[in-house]
Structure formats: C-alpha cells, structure tokens
Structure 1
Amino acid sequence: MALPVTRYARSGEVHIAWQSLGDGRLDLIFIPGWVSHVEANWRFPEVASFLRTLAERCRLLVFDKRGTGLSDPMPRASTIEERMDDVRAVLDAAAVRRAVVFGASEGVSLAILFAATYPERTLGLVAYGGFACRRRTPDYPWAPSDKASARLMELVQRSWGGPMELDTLTPSRANDHRFVMRFASYLRQSASPGAAAALLRYNTDVDSRAALAHVAAPALVLHRTADRDAKIDEGRFIARHITGAQFVELPGADHWPFVGDSAALLGEVHRFLERLPSLPRRPGRRMPKPPRKPPVMSTLTSRQRQILELLAQGRSNREIAQVLTRSEHTVHRHVANILAQLGVRTRAQAVAILVR
C-alpha cells in the first residue's frame, strides 16, 4: 500500500507536517502524545497497524506537533493555545470544515481545548489516556509532583536515544528486545533530547480543566485501568466534567495506545463514530480566549529559575557553580536552555523577563 504524502500547514511562524489517509464519510484528526514522526509511523508496525485500522472508518489526518518529527522546532516558548491552534491549521490545510478530534495522552488536553475553542468545527471528541492537569494540586492529586517531573526531565536529557520509560509507557513490551530497539529509534527520530525535555516542561503547565465545561460535542473518554503515566482517575475526572461524555475503562497498563489490546480501543472508537450522527449535541459557545501572556517563567524548572535569580544578582557561571555545588559546564548548559526557553539571546534579556 502506498504511503501517505507529507504536506505542510502554516501555523503562525511554524510549519506543521501532516498526512491524510482513508476516505470515510467522517474526517478525524489524531493528536499524538509526547512525540511523533509522521513518516517513521509507517516503519513502526504497531503504529502503522493502529493508524490504518483507524482510517478504515474515516478520513484520517495525522500530524507532528511543533517541535517534533518533521514539523518546525519551536522558535520560542509556545503557549498551549498556540500548540492547540496547530490543529486548526492542519484542518484548514486539508480543507476540512468539521472533524472528530482524537487526542492521546498529552494530545487529550489539546483536543479538549480545541473542542472548547472551536465548537462549530468539532464533530466529536475522543480522549485516550489523557490528563486535564499536569501539576499536582490538592484538587488534582493524580498529577506528578514537581520533583518527579524534574527527575523525568533530567532522565530525558541524560538518556534520550536509548530505551527509557518502557515500564511506564509500554510495560507489556518492556522485555521484548526487538520492540525496545524500535521504540528507542522512533523516539530519536521524533525529537531531540532538548525538544523532548521542552515538551515535558510545557506539559507541567497544562491545565485544561476550565475548558471541560465548554465541550459541546459528543465525547468518548477511554482509559486503561492500570495506566502508569496517566492514572485511571484522571480519565474519570475528564469524563465527569464533560456533559454527557461516555467513559470506557479498558483492561491493561500500557499508556501508548499502539500496544496492548489496541483492537479493543479501536473497536470502541469505531462504534463511537458509527453512533455519532444520532448522539445529542449541546449548543456550543466558544470558550473565552485567555489574555496573551509574556514569555512564561513557568516553563523553567525550579533549578533554572534559581540560576536565573543568581544571574540577576550579577553572578558568573563559576560563582553559580560554587553556590550550587555543580560543575561550571552544567551551569553553562542550564543558562543556554534558559535563554532558548524564554526566546532571548542574552542573559540581560532573560533577567529583564524575571524582573518584569
């Protein structure tokens, strides 16, 4: 079977790589999780099988989020609203007026925000293995702690390129050597260590809870019982806060949708698509757009913010290294990452954002 052609959509200053396959009566756009690569998808048997099966009942659009795969790197820190609007850009490029929006993992928050912002363009919402918030709070206790998030970011920067996070993302295949090697290769093709870590940082600020009440389209929320990355209670929370949403609990512990009992997952999606024309739909009102924010300090880790505050005191890299009992090389790397995340070129510009 011929492979889909990669095309590009323009979202502001960023080019987004996308493909389409299938010729069903409904359009469905799939928003991937952490990282992806639209062409490497077809070299990964589990991913290719999943997408081809999904496309049997729809015209399927797939794309790489900004900063991943064949899409442009993020030129600066991007807000979740800008990342969500990449979905709109792909739909426009594909001449699609209305579509079912299917988010997986991190893609769920983008799907929720799109459905709330563009109710007139959302036929239905499918959410698999998602979370509504990625920072633990008293009223959302399932998200990772700040320490756990920082440990994962350090692991990504240290170990990206080799097998990692298998016990969390794909536990059923963690001991399958050939799969492990394919998975590591897929991650390398999908993002650089810096890009993968940047997405994790942005995800710590994801909070789509306010958008849930604005979702007017019929919604299907799917979650595996023992998912180790996004807890089952997070799926229940999402379903509980979307009026009329259907919640389906699936057996298994794999977070990645392409492994485990993917046939059961896809079966639920296909049944939802078949029922969609008869499902009730609430009158939709666009969710108000939040005020535009300046470059966000919240994208920085606690250690990076500490270093930025020391820079504001006029400290050199050597002095900061002594204060933090770290090597000067480590401090230099942190400073470079801080400048990249804030979208500035000099230390003075970064400090100006801190004191703004």
Structure 2
Amino acid sequence: MSLLFSPLSIRSVTFPNRLWVSPMCMYSAIDGVVQEWHHTHLTQFASGGAGLIVAEASAVVPEGRISPRDAGLWNDAQRDAWAPIVAAIHARGGLAGIQLAHAGRKASTWWPWAETQGSVAHADGGWQAVAPSAVAFAGFDEPAAMDAAGIESLVDSFRAAARRALDAGFDVLEVHGAHGYLLHQFLSPLSNLRTDEYGGSLENRARLLLRVVGAVREEAGNDVPLFVRISATDHADGGFLPAEATAVSTWLLEHGADLIDVSSGGLVAHQQIDVHPGYQVPLAATLRQSGAVPTSAVGLITTAQQAEQVLADGAADAVFAGREWLRDPHFGLRAAHELAAPVTWPSQYLRARWR
C-alpha cells in the first residue's frame, strides 16, 4: 500500500492522501481581492487528486503584502471573494487551506514579471515596509522598526484574518514564518537586532511567532488543523540554524500548531543554497525527530516515487509540491497511477484513466 496515498487525520480533518499543493503567490489580486484566475488555478488541483490545496500567502494587513498584487484577508470583501473558491474546491472533493502572512521588510516590492524590480515607490502605489529592525533586505528600501503597539496590532490582525478564513470555509490554516518574511525576520539574528523582549535570545526572537500561533489557535478552536511554515536554516553565516528551528518547532506544538511545514532560506540575498531534488527534505527529517514533531517536506519534489520515498524514509508525514502541480494540475491522479494506489477519479475524467 502506498504511504503517499494513505489517509492522514489531524484534529477533525482527514486528508485523503499526503500529496499536497504548496501555497504559491499568483500576484493577480486587485486590492487584495482574489479574481477568476485564482478560482480556476486552485480548483483544478481538486480535480487532479490533491489531498490538500493551500492557497497563496494572504496578507493580514495591507502593508503586509509582498507586492500591490498580493491576496489579502484584512477585510470582509476579501473574505467573500475567497468563499466561492473554497466552495468549488469542496464541490470537487478537495480540502482547502490558506497561508496567513506578513512580508515585513520584503513588502512593497514589484511582482516577478514587472518591468522593474526592487521596492515600489510611494508614487507608484508602494508603502513603508516594517520589520523587527531597520535593516533592509539587499536592494530594497529600509524598513521601519516595529514598536510595541505595532506588534500588538499585528497579533490582532493575524487573529482577525484567521476568523475571516474560517468564515470563508477554509479547512486548514497555515501561519507563514518562513522565506524571509516578517515572522522569520524576528526569528533570525541577521534581521532581528532588537534589545527588548522580542530580540536577543532564541526565546525572545521566537516570542512573536509563538504569540501569533497561539492567537490563531485560540480563534480557530480545537477542531481546525493549524500548520506553521518555517525556514529551518538561513543558509548564511550567523543566521537561524536547524538546531534552533528544532527547538522552535517543539514550542510551536505547545502553542497549538499541529504540523511544521519545513522549508528554508529567503532571509538574505547572500544565502548559499545547494539546490537539487529534495534538497530540503533532510531539514524536515531533522525537525521531525523520528515522529515527535509532525512535519511536511518540500523542495523540488517532482515524482511520485520521490514523494513516496520521503515518507518511507520517515523524513516527513506529508509532502508539499509546487511547481510540479503547475506543470501538471493532475499530478495526484498521475502519481496514484504510478504507485498503483486506488483513487477516485472525477466521473467526467474517467475515460482518460490509465488502465
């Protein structure tokens, strides 16, 4: 029996398989409101056999967007735009999650295919980015250091966004603490130079992430799965380390998280990463601690056999893929065929089933 296509139960949700769709920014929202593009983009994965579809990083406040085209969940109009997408995923037999995010010092930047890159000027619709300390990401404008009132407001904003996500019908919530965005910036000594209760020791640097997770758990109640994506290493001297990530993962579980979505990097432009198939899987295995901490693995996982081996090796409890789902929105159906795993095909697609 395929491990990849075995069910996984977390709180009140049972995932039909462990091959999931990573949150991927589409840079196609208008004023934080998702559009028809998002509807088609996300629902196709439900038809394609995904065990879970996590919608892209959605900013909890306007200034938390990576770009002016990012999705959001800071108002009810955005919530109402997400609701029919979630309903369509459910109608196709899928489960829907969403990633709640704040970009911190990497906010107010141009989308990837814009004619220019770097920070968006105020005259072009940009805004002042904020961060734990007034330390810029290379090539971006200097952020403003957050004060105590800003930190308190941020926790409330994550809580409010979680409520809107639940009201929109999402089955799973994920807090984005990776890829050099705000909560990761607090975790790393390369970007967090604070001397107050949110800086210095690992306990202090993790304080905001733990407060956010605790607030989201409180809002979500006991039934909703809560994931946290973290970068387990900065791939840079003096940065956040796997040993620290292991400790933080344990604390996250104590604050209400159910699964650690393990990625890496993104904090500094001078990072040095050896990118190859499955390059981040060992980090998931390290944090998992032989099953003590539920984890998911990600990072150039592109074949059914590769994903199956991640689980067989005990490196993770589930596998997230991104680009392979973009290349083939029916990656789940194809993977099930290659692993000889029985899955239910949409009736409309039965004529195409491999035999």
Give the TM-score range, shorter chain.
0.3 to 0.5
- Larger helix proportion, structure 1 or 2? 1
Normalised by the length of structure 1, the TM-score is: 0.32
Normalised by the length of structure 2, the TM-score is: 0.32
